């Protein structure tokens, strides 16, 4: 292994994620060289290549570092959440799962909508909507999942998380995920949360997935659903057009926020 490869691994492993421009500046070489280095290290399974950079290698069954999506895509999540919030109509029953993007959606829910029933597995979303004048909020129940390093990830998971959902016929479910792949479908890092998401899909007439571009092309360890089971994906406008086209060819409607 070259000294440059060692330095790249040191930076990526220390930060969990690094982009091509940052590595180029740190090592004093061109972005073309860095991309070639990342491809070589990815083939050796020493890091995980993602669009625009690389992530530290880890088994897919483990959750991605919390600071990666929240730090890198905060504004994108807010835009995605705002677009999704604008899709909600008065009188609907909707399901929101636990995630930073669905929390952004809840916080952007228009104050003038009325008689909306919200079922959520997120304690943070329930609290955020507590004073919304037009929302009636139900929580799914279940075991409280430890939030780890993410203070906005207090979710309810099995056992008992599906009991309420078994009795619902919601209009829409709005969900988050950790990975989107045209062949492998929608995936998540946490097995318990993936189970709750499957309950939610079954309880809704239509399902909308909310995910920034960093999730596209990634496959996590727990499968949520195939592409065909999800009606719409709302992602950010910087998503790679080739990736978007591939998902659309699979029958998925894609909205760019």
> What predicted TM-score, i.e. pTM, was given to this entire model?
0.74
Please report the DSSP string for the chain in residue order.
--HHHHHHHHHHHHHSEEEHHHHHHHHTS-HHHHHHHHHHHHHTTSEEEETTEEEE---TTSPPPTHHHHHHSHHHHHHHHHHHHTT--TT-EEEE-SSHHHHHHHHT--TT--SEEEEESBHHHHHHTTT-TTEEEEE--SEEPP-TT-TT--BEESSSTTTTGGG--EEEEEEE-SEEETTTEEEES-HHHHHHHHHHHHHEEEEEEE--GGGBT---SEEEE-GGG-SEEEE-TTS-HHHHHHHHHTT-EEEE-
- pLDDT (tens, 9 = 90+) of the chain, 257 residues, equals 788 998 998 898 888 788 899 999 999 999 999 999 998 888 877 888 887 888 887 544 444 443 344 445 788 999 999 999 999 999 999 999 999 999 999 999 999 999 999 999 999 999 999 999 999 999 999 999 876 555 557 899 999 988 899 999 999 999 999 999 998 999 998 899 999 999 999 999 999 999 999 899 888 889 999 999 999 999 999 898 989 999 999 999 999 99
Domains and CATH numbers, the chain: 3-56 (1.10.10.10), 74-256 (3.40.50.1360)
């Amino acid at each position: 292994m070259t000294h440059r490869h060692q330095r790249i691994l040191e930076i990526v492993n220390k930060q969990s994620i690094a982009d091509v421009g940052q590595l180029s500046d740190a090592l004093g070489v061109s972005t073309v060289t860095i991309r070639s280095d990342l491809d070589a290290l990815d083939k050796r399974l020493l890091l995980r290549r993602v669009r625009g950079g690389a992530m530290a290698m880890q088994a897919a069954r483990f959750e991605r570092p919390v600071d990666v999506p929240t730090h890198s895509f905060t504004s994108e999540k807010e835009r995605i959440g705002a677009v999704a919030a604008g899709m909600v109509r008065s009188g609907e029953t909707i399901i929101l799962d636990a995630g930073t993007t669905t929390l952004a959606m809840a916080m952007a829910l228009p104050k003038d909508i009325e008689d909306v029933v919200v079922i959520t597995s997120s304690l943070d979303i329930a609290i955020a909507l507590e004073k919304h004048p037009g929302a009636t909020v139900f929580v799914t129940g279940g075991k409280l999942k430890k939030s780890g390093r993410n203070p906005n990830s207090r979710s309810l998971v099995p056992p008992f998380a599906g009991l309420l959902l078994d009795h619902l016929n919601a209009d829409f479910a709005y969900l988050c995920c950790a990975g989107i792949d045209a062949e492998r479908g929608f995936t998540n890092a946490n097995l318990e949360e993936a189970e709750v998401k499957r309950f939610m899909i079954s309880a809704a007439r239509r399902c909308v997935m909310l995910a920034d571009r960093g999730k596209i092309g990634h496959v996590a360890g727990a499968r949520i659903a195939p592409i065909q089971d999800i009606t719409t994906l709302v992602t950010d406008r910087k998503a790679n057009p080739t990736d978007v086209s591939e998902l659309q060819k699979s029958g998925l409607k894609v909205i760019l926020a």
